[in-house]
Amino acid sequence: MKIIILLSQFTPTDVNKHLLDDVLFLRKQGIDARILTLFPEVPEKTLYRESLFAKENFSCVSFGRKWDPREWKKLIARLSEEHPDLIIVGGKPKMLGILCARLSHVPNLFVFAYDEETIRSSRSFFGGIFDYLANFFIVASDVTKEQILSQWLSPSKVAVIPAGIPFDDYGKPPERNIFSQFGFGDNEFIFLFTGDLVPEKGADVLLRAFSKVPEGKLVIVGDGAEKEGLQSLSDNLNLKERVLFLNEDGNIPELLMRAGAVVFPSKKEEPLSVFVPALISGVPVISSDFLGIEEMIRNGENGIIVRKQDSDDLAKAMNALVLNPKMFAAHQKDVEKKLENFSVSSHCAKLLSLVKTNK
């Protein structure tokens, strides 16, 4: 079987990180999974590393002007030449990817609707028409499924498959205090935020809440359009000495093992898989109260649920954990039993089952 994942660029977004995990897992299973991008990579903003991909497994068609028919023809020819069994379209090139995949006569076409932009485009008239051409839309939760349904997209074409997490990467005892290089003490309570720095993630709410927490440090890991604004907000709140901004460079498992809590102050729904790395690592979670959160986080057992965009409620939860950092330790084994559905192996098995049913 050959699978091509079609992306605009292989930037370090949450969706692309999940796709990377899928590709690496599928290749270990002997499946020819490749990534094809439309635009060249920016060296400092890419997940591509030669240590992970042979040259034939990662390539770029160097797409030019979006509405130039010659560029479309080039992409269609490339897809026809590859002759994959499945094309997965993720992120920005959704409409372009769907149309070119169909014109190249690929038998199976899936769209990953794990990001807000893809979900939003499906609500538009033209986006809905293009959606009709895909075999399946893959979403992270029942809530997202309800959001994405339209006159063009029937429930039978939307599959709820949580993003997969590479379990083996997490939960290993740390060999060092990774934060010591930043001057953090061994007994410092560390709050960790990981994710794209975009408005809906609520990092601004987190900073305002942390300004009301007198002890501990906050580490924000990620990149995005809001980064400079968040750094300015941190300075204005007099948090410069207590807040550390880091780029994500593959060290999340090590960061988690040193964290006292992971905070998800999202203003909108998050896929439940975002909580899995923290829970595997035995780290308590503080999350805003979006719909469906109770499926993963049980208030008082493995985390604390707070009101969305309420910095006072978030600060209260953060202060409670600083005062009692071991408050959830007794429930760790119960949590681990519920996570298998979120493994990369489970995720990929469900994707492949859809390919088989569509033949």
Q: What would the DSSP string read from start to end of 165-211?
A: B-GGGSSPPPSS-GGGGGT--TT--EEEEES--SGGG-HHHHHHHHT
CA 78/CA 249 separation, integer angstroms: 31
pLDDT of 83: 92
Predicted local confidence at residue 215, as pLDDT: 92
DSSP at 40 = P
Domains 2-164+343-357 and 167-341 equal at CATH topology level:
yes
- pLDDT, mean of each 10-residue run, the chain (359 residues): 90 83 91 90 79 76 77 90 91 81 92 77 68 85 75 80 82 71 82 91 96 95 91 95 85 87 87 80 88 75 89 95 76 61 89 79
Does residue 314 contact residue 263 with C-beta atoms inside 8 Å? yes
Domain definitions of the chain by residue range:
2-164+343-357, 167-341
Query: To which CATH superfamily is domain 167-341 assigned?
Result: Glycogen Phosphorylase B; (3.40.50.2000)
Q: How far apart are CA 62 and CA 339, in angstroms?
A: 39
Q: Are 220 and 203 in contact (CB under 8 A)?
A: yes
Helix residue spans in the chain (DSSP H):
14-28, 69-82, 94-103, 116-122, 125-131, 142-148, 203-210, 227-236, 252-258, 276-280, 311-323, 332-336, 344-357
| Per-position DSSP letters for 114-178, written without gaps between them | -SHHHHHHHTSHHHHHHHTTSSEEEESSHHHHHHH--SS--GGGEEE-PPPB-GGGSSPPPSS-G
pLDDT at site 152: 63
Nearest to 93 by CA among 172, 12, 10, 163: 10
**CATH second-level architecture of 2-164+343-357?**
3-Layer(aba) Sandwich (3.40)
